[in-house]
Amino acid sequence: MDVDFVGTGCGVSLSKIIRKRKAVLRNDKKRDDTGQSGTIITILENKEPQVKIVNFMIERINNRITLTSQTRVILMVYGGYKYLELDYEPDLENDIIAWHWVSGEMPIEKLSEALAAESSVGTWTELKTVNMEVFEKLRAKVFRIEKVSENSGFVWLAYPLDHFDVKNILQILASIRGNIYGLAELEALKFLDVRFPRKLQKLFKGPRFGLEGVRNRVGTNVSRRPHIGTIVKPKVGLAPKEWAEVAYNAFIGGVDFVKDDENLVDQEFCRWEDRVNAVLEVIDKVKDETGRTVIYSPNITDRYSRMLERMDSLEEMGWDIAMLDVYMIGYSALLDIVEELHNGGFIIHAHRAGHTAETRGVFGCEYNVFAKIWRLIGVDQLHTGTGVGKMEGSPLIIRGYGKICTKKNIDEALHLYNLGFNWDDTINPLMPVASGGLDAGKVDALIEIYGKDLVIQAGGGIHGHPEGSVSGAKSMRCAVEGVMQGKSSPEKAKECKELKAALDKWGYSDPQEIRKISEMVEENKDKYLKKLFTVGYEAFDISEELQDESKKD
């Protein structure tokens, strides 16, 4: 594949290539077809001519060496093996499919072959050790490319299951989302989505309790109302008794679920065991006083052995819910602790602190991929964002994450940026958790985004309520009741002073706007798809533009 490097200034590109590739130059003085003298430069990379630049002229202008004519680059990467197979029809029963946004210094075809090679059989050069039959069987295939420019676009790869140690998710991830991020020729690489065939899903257990299990526990499987949760705030600093008192106030006000903040485990000012004991007493008290079943997820995140110790302590205390910071724990310990917790009959609340280090920006991995893996591994509740709160994420993309958690079949929804996907019957749905910068005025909008199978979790929006935590919890409860009665929060606020106070303080996010945006995208799928394939990854950030458009009517 040939590419053009054009004109003056190429010296910069050249030196960049040389610096990045730690290459050396070989200069051959030549005359070109027109008789002008010039230089053929070959970049010698690792002693093999990986990039060859030919047919350009070097001129001395004002005593500076400048490249003035067209330069051609011939790329010969990855040993010349073939990974591109654009007429390949993926085998949905036997292939793992990965979808990437990629851009870099080479033509997209070469970049995608580099991804395929590095993540499957190949390496940077030709090998004497390859058995071509095995290569054909195990290599990743680039089966679709949507170019945005010569050097950027969307790429789909199919990996045969035979490639993998299928019982080992770490090996799978080290292959399909491992070394590829480090390839020098890349300027962006975002792993947008993954599709796991059912054969692979069957090797995982999925959530033991999941959505229905959590609803059963709280007693909402008939009413099907959203759950209300809170994170006791401040994040750290309260002593166990103080912490439990704040939890009590939230429960009494109407919250179903209280959790530790990710910043809180076993600090000196609030020992884990003392806090758990104090909250469990409160939970009994709430049951006695109100008859309601409320729940608490203590954060047990730590090294594996300490998580096990905490799980044992909880069992001794007669408690069976725990919170894990799944991103921090890492896959290896997570798989084991989830299995232990499942065996012990625990409900698992999954917090995702740190995921945005990978999910934001152009290198990394979209949250689709994490959500799918964590559902496979088997958490029962998972943070999936808000679209209207303090954390990044547009409502329509967040809606997609919700579907990954709650649905069995996820439609091919490329216009909303995820691959179609069918969960195996053995993998239970789980309960998504919307959290981060929420208050009662955002409840209507959240239900518009997610539907009612949801935990709406507010820390600041409850404990920052003008009249304190009990009223903060009441304001959330009123907003949820309003939705169940078909009343908007401003309407419901007429009969609920706590809700009115919350709306007065924080305002109201109108679900109408989200509805309008959804309809607009639905009606103009082709337009947005086209936009995706002309603008590229930046088109993912359509929410602002859509919001502006929706305000035009």
Binding site for ligand CAP (CB under 6 A): 231, 233, 235, 261-262, 352, 383, 385, 390-391, 435-438, 458-461
Q: Which does 207 bind (CB under 5 to 8 A by kind): ligand CAP, Mg ion, none?
A: none
Closest CB to ligand CAP among 74 and 391? 391
Chain position carrying tokens 């359509």? 542
3-state SS assignment for residue 257? strand
Closest CA to 325 of 274, 379, 366, 276: 379
- Asked if 21 and 50 count as a contact pair (C-beta separation under 8 A), the reply is yes
* Contacts of 548 by beta carbon, 8 Å cutoff, 6+ apart: none
Please classify residue 132 by burial: count the beta carbons closer than 10 Å to its beta carbon, then call 0-12 exposed, 13-18 middle and 19+ buried.
exposed
Q: Going by C-beta distance under 8 Å and a sequence separation of 6 or more, which residues neighbour residue 538?
A: none
Q: Which is nearer to ligand CAP, 431 or 458 (CB)?
A: 458
CA–CA separation, 528 and 540 (whole Å): 10
DSSP 301: -
User: 261 or 510: whose CB is closer to Mg ion?
Assistant: 261
Contacted entry of Mg ion, ligand CAP, none for residue 391, CB cut-off 5 to 8 Å set by kind = ligand CAP
Shorter beta-carbon distance to Mg ion: residue 247 or 410: 247
**Nearest-CB residue to Mg ion?**
261
- The token duo for 533 is 């394939």
Which segment (211-219, 262-270, 380-388, 495-503) binds Mg ion by CB under 5 A? 262-270
Residue 364 near which of Mg ion, ligand CAP, none (CB within 5-8 Å, type-dependent): none
Minimum distance, C-beta of residue 502 to Mg ion, in the bound complex (Å): 20
Residues in the chain: 553
Q: From CA 9, how far away is CA 23, in angstroms rounded?
A: 19
Contact 384, 433 (CB under 8 A): yes
Question: If you search the block for the tokens 């990437």, which residue do you land on?
Answer: 100
Residue 310: Cβ within 10 Å count: 22
Cα(209)–Cα(50) distance, integer angstroms: 54
> Which of these ranges, 124-132, 201-209, 259-267, 270-278, lies near Mg ion under the rule CB under 5 A?
259-267
DSSP string, 16-76: HHHHHHT-EEEEEEEE-TTS-EEEEEEEEETTEEEEEEEEE-EEEETTEEEE-S-EEEEE-
Q: 102 has which bridge partners?
A: 153, 189
CB-based contact 245:258 (threshold 8 Å): no
Q: Of ligand CAP, Mg ion, none, which one sits near residue 74, judging by CB under 5 to 8 A according to partner kind? A: none
* Sequence-distant (≥ 6) Cβ neighbours of residue 22 within 8 angstroms: 45
Residue 139 binds what, of Mg ion, ligand CAP, none (CB under 5 to 8 Å, by partner type)?
A: none
Taking the complex as a whole, how short is the minimal distance between the CB of residue 463 and Mg ion, in angstroms?
A: 12
- Asked if 464 interacts with Mg ion (CB under 5 A), we say no
180 contacts 189 by C-beta, under 8 angstroms = yes
For Mg ion, the closer CB: 193 or 262: 262
Distance CA 109, CA 351 (A): 38
- To ligand CAP, the closest distance from the beta carbon of 389 in angstroms equals 7
C-beta closer to Mg ion: residue 242 or 261: 261
Question: Which residue's Cβ lies closest to ligand CAP?
Answer: 459
Rounded Cα gap, residues 74 and 329, in angstroms? 44
CB nearer to Mg ion: pick between 261 and 266: 261
Q: Tell me if the bond preceding 234 is cis, omega within 30° of 0.
A: yes
Q: Note the Cα 465 to chain centre separation in Å.
A: 31
In the complex, the smallest distance separating the C-beta of residue 431 from ligand CAP, rounded to whole angstroms, is: 13
The answer to whether 31 and 139 are in contact (CB under 8 A) is: no
Of 100, 110, 259, 351, which residue is the catalytic one?
A: 351
261, 273, 340, 481: which one binds Mg ion (CB under 5 A): 261
Query: Minimum distance from CB of 314 to ligand CAP (Å)?
Result: 21
Q: How far is the CB of 257 from ligand CAP (least distance, A)?
A: 13
User: Measured between alpha carbons, how far is residue 95 from residues 164, 330, 418 in Å?
Assistant: 10, 25, 17
Looking at beta carbons only, is 50 or 230 nearer to ligand CAP?
A: 230
> What single-letter DSSP state applies at residue 300?
-
Q: Provide the minimum distance between the beta carbon of 533 and ligand CAP in the complex, in angstroms, as a whole number.
A: 29
Asked if 459 and 232 touch (Cβ cutoff 8 Å), the reply is yes
Residue 482 interacting entry, from Mg ion, ligand CAP, none, C-beta within 5 to 8 Å by type: none
| Per-residue exposure over 212-237, b if at least 16 CB sit within 10 Å of its own CB, e if not | bbbbebbebeeeebbbbbbbbbeeee
Return the range that interacts with Mg ion (CB under 5 A); candidates 162-170, 175-183, 253-261, 471-479: 253-261
**Residue 452 bears catalytic tag:** no
Q: Are 410 and 420 in contact (CB under 8 A)?
A: yes
Nearer to ligand CAP, 74 or 353 (CB): 353
Part of the chain binding Mg ion (CB under 5 A), chosen from 82-90, 257-265, 504-512, 524-532: 257-265
549 near Mg ion, judged by CB under 5 A? no
Partner interacting with residue 527 (select from Mg ion, ligand CAP, none; CB below 5-8 Å by kind): none
Cβ at position 379, least distance to Mg ion in Å: 16
Active site residue 233: yes
Nearest Cα to 120, choosing from 144, 96, 145? 96
Minimum CB separation of residue 328 from ligand CAP in Å reads 12
Residue 107 binds which of Mg ion, ligand CAP, none (CB < 5-8 A, kind-dependent): none
Q: Among residues 233, 259, 403, 442, which one is catalytic?
A: 233
CB of 432 to Mg ion, least distance (A): 16
Q: Which of 455, 493, 460 is nearest to 246 (CA)?
A: 460
- Comparing CB distances to Mg ion, the nearer of 229 and 378 is 229
Which listed option, Mg ion, ligand CAP, none, makes contact with residue 385 (CB within 5 to 8 Å by class)? ligand CAP
Say whether residue 391 binds Mg ion (CB under 5 A).
no
Which entry of ligand CAP, Mg ion, none binds 233, CB below 5 to 8 A by partner kind?
A: ligand CAP
Q: How many chain residues touch Mg ion (CB under 5 A)?
A: 2
Q: Which residues are catalytic?
A: 233, 351
Binding site for Mg ion (CB under 5 A): 261-262
